[in-house]
Each structure stands twice: as C-alpha cells, then as structure tokens.
Structure 1
Amino acid sequence: MQEFDHIQSLWQSHSVEVKISSEEMLVQAKKEVNGVRTRSLLNILGMLLSFTAIAALLVFFPFNSWTTLAGLGVIIVSIAVYTIILYLDYRIIARNDFTEHPNAFLSNLKIYQLNKFNLYNRLYWIYAIALSFGFILYFYEMLDNMEVWIQISIVAFTIFWMFLCATILRKAYMKREKERIDLLIEKFERISEQFKEQ
C-alpha cells in the first residue's frame, strides 16, 4: 500500500506542460469566436422573425378589442427592445479583429460576458413580465370566443412554457454560454501571455 501511495504522490507531483503555439491557439480561438458570433446572429434572427410574425398578425388580422391590439403592441415592443439589446451585445464581439488586437478583443469579450449575465438575469425578468402582460391582454379577446376547456389548455400551456423558459432552459443556456466564454477568455489570456514572452 505504501508503494501505491508513493507512486500516487509521484504522479501528482509530475506535471506536464503542454505548449501550444500562439498561432495554433489563434486558429482554435477563431473557430470558437465564430461560433459565439454565429449563435448571437441566430438569436437576433430568431427575434426578428418573431417580431415580423407578430407585426404581420397585428397588420393583417382584424381585431375587435383594444386589449388585443394593446397586447400585441406590448409584445412587439418587448421583442424589439430585446432584439436591440442582443444586437448591441453582438457588436461588442464583432467590432474588432481578434487576430490583430487580442488584448482589445479580450476586454470586449469580458464586457460581452458581463452583458450576457445581466441580460439573462435581470433584463430577462423584465422581458418575461412584459411578454406575459402582452399575452394576457391578447388572450382577453381571443379566449372569449373559445370553449372553456380550450381556454384552460391554452392558459395552462402558456404558463408552463413561460415557467420552463424562465427556469430550466434559461439556466441551461446560461451555464453553457458561460463555460464557452470562460474558455475563450482563458485562451485569449494565454495568447496574450505568449505574445508578451516572444
């Protein structure tokens, strides 16, 4: 047993330093940065599609109640504001070329990470409350024309979906995004250190 402990202590004390050139690390970082940028663009595109679909609903369908129009208006404004925030965050990481200015990109990446944290913690709840309020106003006229069991089903599904998005899906997305950005920040810090050594 003492031999095993001795071997284990030798193994733990032995550290292998893996040196990756800054060029190789930049190639890896480029793939990850492009992935972050692509996901950000896809989020913006999804929000724009939602905005367009709801605006089309507002324009092309006649509604009798002012509550329906107000509800759709609240939803459209919420989506527009959230889309603008997503676009401003996207511009932070798309602003400069990280291969030419890794230190500037690193500081922008840290700002982007902080903005994402604020977006999915504080601002998300404002967005969710505004959407919920908009749906309540929208459903006021829509549900009045339906049978009771359909009304209950739609309201229950909407509450379930909002709860699912606000808890499980949001937290899973935040965790994945934080891990990706943390890894990217770590790589750019190592790249910056390697440039200092050269």
Structure 2
Amino acid sequence: MKDFNALQNLWDEQKTAALPDSASILFNAKKTQHALNNKIKKQVAVLLFVVVVMLILVNVIPFKKATTFIGMGIMIVSVLLFSAMRLVQIIRLHKIDLTQNPRQLLIKLEAYHVFQNTINTQYTFIYYILMNVAFALYFIEVLNPIQPFFRGVIIIVYLAWMLFAYLYLGKKHKKKEHAKTQSIIDAIKAIEQQYEI
C-alpha cells in the first residue's frame, strides 16, 4: 500500500501538459495573415506609384532616342506585371479561410507557400533582369551627355545597388515572408495536433 501511495503522489505531482489554446493560435495566425497581406498591398501601392512617376517622366522630359522609350516601356510593363503577380498573391492569401478544417487548410497553405516561393525566386529574378535591361536602354540617352568618369561612377553605383538589393534585401525579404507563412502553417499544424489528441 505504501508503494501505491508513493506512486499516486508521484502521479499527482507531475504537471499535465496544457493543450495549446486553439482560439489564441488561430488569432495569431489570422493576425500574421493580415499583416502579410497589408505588407504586400503597400508594396503594390509603391510600385503603382512608381509607374505613375515613370509615365510623368516620359511625358515631361523630351527624350529623343527610341532606346529610352523602349527602356521606359519595359520598366513600366515589368512593374505592372510584377504588381499583378503580387495582387494575385494577395487574393490567394485572402481567400484562405483559417477557420476551415485544419487538413484542408494545410493543403491550401502549402499550395500558397509554393506559389509565394515561386514569386519570390523565379518571378523576382525575371523582374530584376527585365528592369536591368530596361535601365541599360534608358541609360544610353540619359548618361550620354555626362563625362565618361562620372558615367562610370553612376553605372558602378547603380550595379552595386542592384546587386545589394537583389542579393541582400531580396533574400531578407524572402526570409521574412517565408517565416510569416511558415508561422501560419505551424499554427494550423498545432491546432491539428490538438484535434488528434
């Protein structure tokens, strides 16, 4: 009997593992989803503002060479296409109902995550290439009247900025977006595990 009482005391002393509160997990997941959507909306708004500025520049500055207009056209089309992709991303994320069955939700979130990764890698790479080709065409006329030394400095600064933006800022942005989406997926997995217990 003494062993039984010791065993019972040991049992009583152990703390039961608290199950995660699905309401708070869901709240945090919705908050992250909303924050991610808002961030992408702000980026799209900035990109569309840039398109307006480019259209104003084309109409205000008397460019003479066709390469400048082609370059500006490529820039405008590239920004519009990239903005459209980001808008599709917003719509796809917004359509995901975080209150549905966790297994179905995980399938949708995983599909969105793959789409997000495609935008942040392949489409962003294509966007950078098109923008650099466009700037090269634009620079033919714009940098022509500048002395060769300063032209070289401008090109070096431009290339350094683009490499920094793509290799550092772009990867940092991709990691942040990936982490936010992954936190939503992890939250839904925690809720699914709670149902399985």
Shorter chain as denominator, the TM-score bin is 0.7 to 0.9
Deviation at 1:15, TM superposition (A): 9.8
Deviation at 1:98, TM superposition (A): 2.2
Separation in 2 of the partners of 1:20 and 1:47? Answer: 40
Report the equivalent of 1:35. Answer: 35
Structure 1 segment 155-194 matched on structure 2, within 5 A: 155-194=155-194
Of 129-138 and 49-58, the range deviating more from structure 2: 49-58
Q: Is the 8 A contact 1:68 1:139 kept in 2?
A: yes
TM normalised by structure 1 equals 0.83
User: 1:66-112 deviations in whole A, cap 9, x for unaligned?
Assistant: 11101100111111111111111111111244235655543332222
Report the equivalent of 2:9. Answer: none
Residues 27 and 165 of structure 1: is their aligned pair in 2 closer, same or farther, counting only changes over 3 Å?
same
User: 1:124-180 deviations in whole A, cap 9, x for unaligned?
Assistant: 221111111100110100101222232112111110011111211122222222222
Of 90-99 and 76-85, the range deviating more from structure 2: 90-99
| SS of match in other structure, 1:99 | coil
Residue 141 of structure 1 aligns to which amino acid in structure 2?
Answer: E
Deviation at 1:193, TM superposition (A): 4.0
Separation in 2 of the partners of 1:134 and 1:45? Answer: 21
Separation in 1 of the partners of 2:191 and 2:109? Answer: 14
Structure 1 segment 36-51 matched on structure 2, within 5 A: 36-51=36-51
How many residue pairs match? The answer is 184
The CA RMSD over aligned residues, in Å, is 2.2
Structure 1 segment 72-151 matched on structure 2, within 5 A: 72-99=72-99, 103-151=103-151
Q: Is the 8 A contact 1:98 1:104 kept in 2?
A: no
Point out which structure has higher relative CO (alpha carbons under 8 A, 6+ apart): 2
Percent identity between the two aligned chains: 22
Of 85-94 and 30-39, the range deviating more from structure 2: 30-39
Task: Give yes or no for the alignment of 1:22 onto 2:9.
Answer: no
Structure 1 segment 59-74 matched on structure 2, within 5 A: 59-74=59-74
**Which structure 1 residue ranges, 5 or more long, are not aligned?**
1-13
Of 159-168 and 187-196, the range deviating more from structure 2: 187-196
Residue 128 of structure 1 aligns to which amino acid in structure 2?
Answer: Y
Deviation at 1:195, TM superposition (A): 4.8
**Which structure 2 residue ranges, 5 or more long, are not aligned?**
1-13
User: 1:23-80 deviations in whole A, cap 9, x for unaligned?
Assistant: 1211221211111111111121121122221122122322111111011001111111
TM normalised by structure 2 equals 0.83
Q: Over alpha carbons, which structure has the higher Rg?
A: 2
Residues 162 and 15 of structure 1: is their aligned pair in 2 closer, same or farther, counting only changes over 3 Å?
farther
Residue 181 of structure 1 aligns to which amino acid in structure 2?
Answer: T
